[in-house]
């Protein structure tokens, strides 16, 4: 989906395909047929943007075989789909029964992360629509915080500098600019947008910035206006934004609220949980079960948990979502005189991790839900004065 901003530029809205992960190229092609095209048809659009997730094996196959890449581009065109952004955060195994901490490997201190991201950039340069101004790729925020010492920090920053040089060379070779956004996430070396400023100003490469995930922003209790103003003042570009919402429990002292949260404590993904006290202290645990059983979070203040909940439907009361944080961030990202980013991606990858009674029972229900999320996001953009393009 494309929208014309009042300044004349085009803002792209997509949804991320990591919600139905595939590890191989054949699996990706099946995604387009079984999931992405049906979402487009439900929306009644001739063209739908998707934020493509390519696992390592699929990316390697595409990078090594120009014919396979042409086949993928042909399938996208045939099914009315377009790709301007990739999700380069998960490396592989995102559909495994247990993902948890594995999603942070390899990190930016490991040479394989650089090689994988370079391959993604080369692939994206070939998939971009002819009239797209640029492509974007989101990636992990350096590393998970543990075992990240000075030596690993130096290696990670060196890898990103090398990536910047490769992106420059790719642009010169293909004429297609590709940018990378580090995605702040709770528990990582770069947990907040504020944490991103120092390493990114050290690297100081115009093709490397941040991906603002509004679920992560909310989980860490960041104020969207303050966060985005600080990035802009530091000259750190917002390469893309993932539109997502976290779980919010207003009063964890109540048994009903903790019981409702417990229904979201599941074994597949990590659900970092945070509580901020009135003095601004951020109390943190790595996963929701830990928050519920250890007593490490104060119960007299609200909790937020990194669980991407559907945008268009609040969780069952007494829980709510952080959709208001998304709305405030989007107003700043796309509602000003010029967009801070031109790439927006709905990223609710946890549909099948929801409590059983909330999960879509089949592909059709999942497509309905994704279409509803995109409709909500599109309505928010038109409310900000953007106009949807055919």
pLDDT number for residue 9: 98
pLDDT digits (tens, 9 = 90+) for 155-179: 999 999 999 999 999 999 999 999 9
pLDDT digits (tens, 9 = 90+) for 175-201: 999 999 999 999 999 999 999 999 999
Residue 251 lies in a domain: no
Average pLDDT along the chain: 97
Contact (CB, 8 A) for 97 and 269:
no
DSSP 7: T
Residue 106 lies in a domain: yes
Residue 261 lies in a domain: no
- Spatial separation of the C-alpha atoms in residues 367 and 351, rounded to whole Å: 11
pLDDT at residue 1 greater than cutoff 90: yes
pLDDT number for residue 54: 98
- Give 66's pLDDT tier (boundaries 50, 70, 90): very high
208: tokens are 């490397």
- Spatial separation of the C-alpha atoms in residues 35 and 366, rounded to whole Å: 8
Residue 284 lies in a domain: no
Strand partners, 285: 273
Per the listing, tokens 């439907």 go with 313
Q: For the residues 228-245, what does the mean pLDDT come to?
A: 98
pLDDT at residue 21 greater than cutoff 90: no
Contact (CB, 8 A) for 191 and 164:
no
Residue 125 lies in a domain: yes
Residue 313 lies in a domain: no
**Cis peptide bond upstream of 158, omega within 30:** no
- Spatial separation of the C-alpha atoms in residues 229 and 331, rounded to whole Å: 13
Contact (CB, 8 A) for 258 and 292:
yes
Instruction: Report the predicted TM-score, pTM, of the whole model to 2 decimal places.
Output: 0.97
Question: Strand (E) positions, the chain?
Answer: 2-4, 10-16, 48-53, 81-87, 135-139, 178-182, 208-213, 238-243, 245-249, 273-276, 282-285, 303-309, 320-321, 343-346, 387-389
Give start and end residues of each alpha helix (H) in 128-182: 150-174
pLDDT number for residue 148: 95
Angstrom CA distances, 241 to 97, 201, 213, stand at: 27, 19, 6
Look up the domain containing 79 and give its range: 2-245+322-384
Q: How many domains does the chain have?
A: 1
pLDDT digits (tens, 9 = 90+) for 97-137: 999 999 999 999 999 999 999 999 999 999 999 999 999 99
Residue 315 lies in a domain: no
- Spatial separation of the C-alpha atoms in residues 133 and 355, rounded to whole Å: 40
Query: Which residues lie below 8 Å from residue 4, measured CB to CB, with a gap of 6+?
Result: 10, 11, 386, 387, 388, 389
Contact (CB, 8 A) for 370 and 346:
yes
Q: For the residues 347-353, what does the mean pLDDT come to?
A: 97
pLDDT at residue 256 greater than cutoff 90: yes
The secondary element (H helix, E strand) that includes residue 127 is helix 111-127
Q: For the residues 344-354, what does the mean pLDDT come to?
A: 97
Residue 74 lies in a domain: yes
- Spatial separation of the C-alpha atoms in residues 182 and 310, rounded to whole Å: 23
pLDDT at residue 18 greater than cutoff 90: yes
CATH code at 121?
A: 3.20.20.150
DSSP 32: I
Contact (CB, 8 A) for 375 and 312:
yes
């Amino acid at each position: 989906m494309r929208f014309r901003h009042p300044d004349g530029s085009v803002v792209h809205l997509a949804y991320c395909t990591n919600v139905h992960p595939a590890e191989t190229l054949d699996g990706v092609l099946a995604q387009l047929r079984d999931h992405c095209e049906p979402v487009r048809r439900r929306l009644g659009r001739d063209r739908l943007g998707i934020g493509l997730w390519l696992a390592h094996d699929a990316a390697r196959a595409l990078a090594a075989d120009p014919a396979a890449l042409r086949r993928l581009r042909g399938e996208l065109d045939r099914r009315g789909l377009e790709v301007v952004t990739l999700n380069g955060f998960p490396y592989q195994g995102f559909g495994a029964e247990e993902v948890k901490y594995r999603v942070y490997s390899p990190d930016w201190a490991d040479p394989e992360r650089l090689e994988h991201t370079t391959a993604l950039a080369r692939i994206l340069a070939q998939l971009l629509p002819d009239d797209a101004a640029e492509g974007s790729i989101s990636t992990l925020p350096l590393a998970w915080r543990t075992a990240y010492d000075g030596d690993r920090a130096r290696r990670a920053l060196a890898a990103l500098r090398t990536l910047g040089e490769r992106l420059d060379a790719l642009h010169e070779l293909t004429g297609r600019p590709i940018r990378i956004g580090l995605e702040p996430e709770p528990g990582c070396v770069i947990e907040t947008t504020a944490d991103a400023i120092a390493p990114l100003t050290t690297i100081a490469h115009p093709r490397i910035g941040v991906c603002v995930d509004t679920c992560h922003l909310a989980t860490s209790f960041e104020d969207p206006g303050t966060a985005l103003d600080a990035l802009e003042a530091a000259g750190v570009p917002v390469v893309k934004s993932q539109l997502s919402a976290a779980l919010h429990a207003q009063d964890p002292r109540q048994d009903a609220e903790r019981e409702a949260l417990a229904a979201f404590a599941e074994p597949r993904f990590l659900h970092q949980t945070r509580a901020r006290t009135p003095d601004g202290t951020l109390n943190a645990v790595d996963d929701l079960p830990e928050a519920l059983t250890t007593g490490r979070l104060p119960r007299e203040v609200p909790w937020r948990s990194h669980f991407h909940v559907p945008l268009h439907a609040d969780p069952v009361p007494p829980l709510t979502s952080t959709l208001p944080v998304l709305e405030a961030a989007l107003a700043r990202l796309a509602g000003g005189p010029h967009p801070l980013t031109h790439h927006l991606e709905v990223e609710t990858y946890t549909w099948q991790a929801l409590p059983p009674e909330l999960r879509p029972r089949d592909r059709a229900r999942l497509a309905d839900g994704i279409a509803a999320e995109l409709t909500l996001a599109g309505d928010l953009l038109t409310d900000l004065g953007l106009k949807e393009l055919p």
